[in-house]
Amino acid sequence: MKQFGLFKFGDHAYAVPMIGLQRVVNTPALYELPRTGVWYPRVLIDEGEVVPLFDLARWLQNITASAVGQYVVIYNSEFGRIGLPADLTCGIVSESSGGVIPVDEDEDLVGHQHVFAYNGDRYSILDVDVMIHSMHCG
Partner 1 sequence: MTEGLLIFRQGEVHFSLAVEKVFEVIDDYCQHLVTDEPPEGASGLMNWHQDVVPLYSPQSIYELPGNANDKTVLVVGTTGPVAALIVSSAEGIYPLSAFQPVALSPVLRETTQPVYDRLLEKDGTLYIPFNLEHMAQVYRWS
- What minimum distance in Å lies between the beta carbon of 138 and partner 1? 12
- What minimum distance in Å lies between the beta carbon of 45 and partner 1? 6
Are residues 114 and 101 in contact, defined by beta-carbon separation less than 8 angstroms? yes
Identity of the residue, 73 or 90, whose beta carbon is nearer to partner 1 in the bound complex? 73
Residues that bind partner 1 (CB under 8 A): 29, 31-37, 40, 43, 45, 48-52, 77, 79-82, 132, 136
The three-class DSSP label of residue 59 is helix
Identity of the residue, 59 or 116, whose beta carbon is nearer to partner 1 in the bound complex? 59
Identity of the residue, 83 or 98, whose beta carbon is nearer to partner 1 in the bound complex? 83
Q: What is the largest CA-CA distance in the chain?
A: 43
- What minimum distance in Å lies between the beta carbon of 109 and partner 1? 19
Identity of the residue, 77 or 89, whose beta carbon is nearer to partner 1 in the bound complex? 77
Tell me 95's DSSP state.
Answer: G
**DSSP assignment of 26-74, as one string?**
ES---B--TTS-TT--EEEEETTEEEEE--HHHHHSS----SS-SEEEE
